[in-house]
Structure 1
Amino acid sequence: RVAQLFGLYPHIKAVPMRGNLQTRLEKMKEQELAGIILAASGMIRMGYIDQIQDYISLDHFVPAVGQGYLGITGRKEDSFEFLSNWQDALVWTKMTALRTMLVQLEGGCSVPFGAAWNGDHLNVFLSDLAGEKKIQKKIPFHESHQKTVDQMLNELYAEGAKDIIERIRSGR
């Protein structure tokens, strides 16, 4: 996310911040920071909607693969029938396609990579650690979610995705 932030706003300074929502807001005030980027859903849920100054579009700031999705796990012997109303085949298909793309790119926690469906488009961001070499793409849905992901992978490879990831892995 920091790489995306520097790509959008190269003049800012990023400050690492940990803690729950209230702790982060307190740290922002204590450190006299100009602002903080947080999930709007959390701000709204916790009653801080009046403190939201702006929203960043998915076209500009692409979240990590799976961010915002809910996954539930349990033991094999437990019944999950009560969750059947929460299952959404389309969401499962979209998420599976995104995870497939992440695996095929050999991305992971150390790679600044984001991918999200935004309506009928797939938005992707890939960058080196400094945010200097980046690829940001948006393509429309094609026949199936997997075909859209396959097309995106081809475009990312054509624009140097493998080189970016290799440089990150080798520490360059």
Structure 2
Amino acid sequence: MQRREWIQCVGAASLGGLLAWRAEASTETAHAELAKLWRRDGGALLVRHAVTESGLGDPPGFALGQCSTQRNLSDAGRQASRAMGAWMKAQQFKPDAVLSSQWCRCQDTARLAFGAFEDWTALNSTFDGQGDPTAQQKALRARLQAMPKGRSEVWVTHQVIMTALTGAYPEMGEGFLVDRQGRLLARGRMAV
């Protein structure tokens, strides 16, 4: 049985029920509606990095900037990242900015899906006592609130960052479309 990934409308926004992340003939209209909503209202699409090699956190000796010391994307994660980029291209939609955590799995997700991206330390993981959760959430909320109406950004990050901002738990490769107040409008997973 083929696994289907989906985006579900969770707020007042009208996305027409369930939306598939990957373009299929029966969901092309739904894809267009998602792109239309994001183009019209803007906001940030928070994406938890794509599927990784097995494990939790990072191995002992982890170091930023040294991918060989980190838990990295699996083949399926790399494929899903490319599929997300293909979906965006098919929608003829290019976000105004793509920002990423400094972890290699996030940077690789951003690079494979969008090509260019900028590192933003506010998106770095706060798992297991890393980072400064309070300061990072403050920076995320400040950027959202300052975002002009209609601006669209992608933020590739980690579960702990997305959960702290929205109160919802994302799976690997799942995205949350949020408005300028951080309210969750829609959520969905990358196709593999």
In the superposition, the TM-score normalised over structure 1's length comes to: 0.28
- The structure where strand makes up a greater share of residues is 2
Q: RCO greater where, 1 or 2, for CA within 8 Å and sep 6 or more? A: 2
TM-score, structure 2 normalization: 0.26
Q: Which of the pair has more CA radius of gyration?
A: 1
